[in-house]
Amino acid sequence: MLLSLSIRNIALMDEMQAEFTGGLHVLTGETGAGKSILVDAVALLLGGRAQKELIRAGETKARVEGVFDLSDCPSALDMLRAQELDEGEELILCREITVQGRSSCRVNGALLPLSQYQAIAAQLMDIHGQHEHQSLMDEKKHLGILDATGGEKHQALLQAAREDYQAWHGCRQKLDAMKKQSAQAGERMELLRIRQKELKSAKLIPGEEEELSRERDRFRHAEKIENGLREAFEQVYDGASPAVEALREAANALRPIEELDPAYAALRARLESLYYEAEDAGLSLREMLSALDSDPDRMEAVQTRLDLIRRLSRKYGGAGSAEMLDKLREIESELAAFESLDDDLDALARQEKALSAKYGASAARLTEARKVLARKFEADMEKQLRDLNMAGTRFQVSLPACPPCAEGCETAAFLIAPNRGEEMQPLSRIASGGELSRLMLAIKSVAAKREGVPSMIFDEIDTGISGRAAQVVGEKMAAIARERQVLCVTHLQQIAALADHHYLVEKYFDGSRTRTRLTVLTGEDRVNEIARMLGGDAESARAHAREMLKKA
For the cut 80, the answer to whether the pLDDT of residue 296 exceeds it is no
| Positive or negative: CA dihedral 487, 492, 496, 499 | negative
3-state class (DSSP) for residue 228: helix
Tens-place pLDDT, residues 233-277: 888 887 777 888 888 888 888 888 888 889 989 998 998 899 899
Average pLDDT, the chain: 86
Q: Is the pLDDT of residue 133 over 60?
A: no
Using pLDDT thresholds of 50, 70 and 90, give the confidence band for residue 122.
confident
Q: What is the mean pLDDT of residues 353-377?
A: 96
Q: Read off the pLDDT band of 431 (50, 70, 90).
A: low
For residue 451, pLDDT beyond 60:
no
Instruction: Please report which confidence band the pLDDT of residue 452 belongs to, taking 50, 70 and 90 as the band edges.
Output: low
Percentage of the chain lying above the pLDDT 70 cut = 95
**16: pLDDT strictly greater than 60:** yes
pLDDT at 266: 92
In this structure, the chain runs to a length of: 552
The predicted pLDDT at position 433 comes to: 66
Residues in Cβ contact with 463 at an 8 Å cutoff, skipping those fewer than 6 apart: 130, 133, 433, 437
Q: Is the predicted pLDDT of residue 217 greater than 90, yes or no?
A: no
pLDDT at 484: 86
Which pLDDT value is given to residue 161? 96
> What percent of the chain has pLDDT above 90?
30
Task: Return the pLDDT at 434.
Answer: 67
Check residue 520 and give its pLDDT. 93
pLDDT digits (tens, 9 = 90+) for 35-58: 888 888 998 999 888 888 889 888
Query: Among 175-189, 242-256, 380-394, where is mean pLDDT lowest?
Result: 175-189
38 near 27, Cβ under 8 Å? yes
Query: From residue 503, how far is each of 2, 178, 267, 529 by CA, in Å?
Result: 15, 65, 119, 10
CA dihedral 198, 201, 207, 208 (to 10 degrees): -120
Extract the runs of DSSP E, i.e. beta strands, from 335-492.
394-398, 401-405, 408-410, 413-417, 425-426, 455-459, 485-489
Give the pLDDT of residue 51: 85
- DSSP 8-state secondary structure symbol assigned to residue 236: I
Candidates 104, 75, 103, 77; CA nearest to 89 is 77
Q: What is the mean pLDDT of residues 149-163?
A: 92
Expressed in angstroms, the distance from the first to the final Cα of the chain is 24
The whole-number pLDDT of residue 160 equals: 96
- Is the pLDDT at 357 greater than 80? The verdict is yes
**What are the residues whose beta carbons fall under 8 Å from the beta carbon of 219, sequence distance 6 or more?**
293, 294, 298, 299, 302
Query: Mean pLDDT lowest for which of 290-299, 324-333, 365-374?
Result: 290-299
- Of 27-41, 168-182, 226-240, 359-373, which has the strongest mean pLDDT? 359-373
Q: How would you class 367 by CB atoms within 10 Å of its CB: exposed for 0-12, middle for 13-18, buried for 19 or more?
A: middle
Higher-confidence residue: 339 or 280? 280
- φ, ψ at 372 (rounded to 5°): -65, -45
Q: Does residue 291 register a pLDDT over 80?
A: no
